[in-house]
Every structure is written in structure tokens, then in C-alpha cells.
Chains A and B, each alone.
Chain A
Amino acid sequence: MDSSGSANADSDARGAQRPLSPHLSVYRPMMTMMMSIAHRITGAGLYVAMALLTLLFLGVGMGGAFYTAFGWLGSSAIGGLLVFLITWAIYHHLLGGVRHFLWDRGLYMDPKGREALAIGTLAGGVGLTVLTWIARSLAG
């Protein structure tokens, strides 16, 4: 390495002039690719969702002005829609994890299997969310 910490400053400089290998742009969208992107988006979304739910629960726990400020997250229509989307994100991300669990064991890695698993993640996430909310409304 030279004094700049680079293995080879000249080759780095030349490398910086060259384009990177294309990755996203050379693929047509595939289910496995879309579900991989969705897994990351739902994960990042759940990070924000946890912060919002923390504010709601702090409002409920502390009451007063805190509940006035954040209670709408649980009691309004927009808050209800947010919580609905959060439950979907939890289930979708959870099933994405199950998909990776199966792939880590070498299961369903053939073209049909991995496509079916990706579709199963999407359908399963939506299905579990709808089932949960129907069961919840029936349970009262």
C-alpha cells in the first residue's frame, strides 16, 4: 500500500474512470428481485413505524398533552390505515425471512420453486394481514 492507504493509486484512479458493471439496469424485473427490494423497503419502513408506535404508546402511557399529540395514530382513520400497513409490513417482512431461511438450506432454489416462494411471500403477507384484521373485527 502507498502512503494514501490505497493498494495502487494509479489503478484506483483508472478504475474511477470506468463505469461500474451494470446490475439493476440489465435485469427485467423478476419476482425474486422485487421481493428482495420489498424486503428491504418493509424493513426500513418498520424502523420508522416502530418510532411512530413508540410515540403512540408513550401518549397512551403518559396521557395528557402527549396523548393529545400522538393519540391520533391509534384513533383516527389515517392512524388506522398506518397501523394496517404496519401489520402488512410485519407479515411481509416475516415471510421474506422465512423465504431466506428456506433458501439458506438449499430448498426451493430451482426456477419454479424460487418463483413460487417469492409469490407466496407476497400473497401470504396480504393474506395474513387481511385474516388478522377480519379475525380482530370478529373478536371485537
Chain B
Amino acid sequence: MSTPTHFKSGREGRGAAFVADHHGSEHARFMRLTSYALAPLGILAGWYLAGVVGLPADGVRAAIGRPFPALALIAFGVIGMVHAREGMNEIIIDYVHDPALMEKALRANRWAARAIAALWTLALMLIAAPR
């Protein structure tokens, strides 16, 4: 049985990062759920990435432009960046203690993760598109 606590620390400045924000279990659950997808996709991504090194552009297109590798890599990129954004949020919260700077860093992380996932998808769609 769990007992919810309504205590909220007002501690500010040094040490504030060690005060619980009550989002820990939600974060852990989110990371674990995305990991279930990323474990097999990560192995596939490692395999495909190792296969494109040293190839000219046409070779890369032939290697990962087929439907299955392209879809697997798109899924890896999108789910990976959702997972990475959450992970980077934790790093920012742990190390950036100035509230205004933290807010900016979290916002930058949100948009950077979205941009990488979108451009990653676009790039793989261009690679896989019929010529």
C-alpha cells in the first residue's frame, strides 16, 4: 500500500535539485515503455548503421532504402528521440539549477528533439522514395 504525501518542500537554491518533484514514477514508466520498443529497434539500427559505412550515396540508398530497413529506422529515430527528450530533460533538471535557464533549456530540448525526429523521418523517406 502506498501513502501519498502532500508535503512540498519550499527549499530553494543549492540542494533544490534533490527535492522530489513527484514525477519520478511517471518518468520511469515512460522510459521503460519506450525501451520495450527501442530494444529490438536498437539492434536493427546498429546492424543497418554498420552496413552503410564506406558506401557511396547509391549504396546507402540500396542498403536502407528498402521498406523494412527504412521503416525500422524511422521507428527507431522517432521513438528514440521521444525517449531521448525525456532523458535530456532529467539531465537538464539535475544540472541546470537556475529556474529561468532551466526553463529555456527544457524548451530548447523539446524543439530540438522534435526537429531531429522530423528531419530524420524526412531524410529516410527521401532515401526510400522511388527514383
Contact = CB atoms under 8 A, between A and B. Distances in A.
B11 A50 contact: no
A interface, how many residues as a size bin?
35 or more
A43 B87 contact: yes
A15 interface: yes
A58 interface: yes
B52 to A, nearest CB: 6
A80 B119 contact: no
Contact of B123 (A57, A79, A80): A57
**Chain B contact residues, majority secondary structure:** helix
Interface string A24-57: 0000000000000000100110110011011001
A90 interface: yes
B20 to A, nearest CB: 14
Interface in B30-80: 32, 35, 38-39, 42-43, 45-47, 49-57, 60-61, 77, 80
Interface of B: 9-15, 18, 28, 32, 35, 38-39, 42-43, 45-47, 49-57, 60-61, 77, 80-81, 84, 87-88, 91, 112-113, 116, 119-120, 122-127, 129
Interface of A: 1, 5-8, 12, 15-16, 20, 40, 43-44, 46-47, 50-51, 53-54, 57-63, 67, 71, 74-75, 79-80, 83-84, 86-87, 90-91, 93-94, 97-98, 100-101, 104, 128-129, 132-133, 136, 139
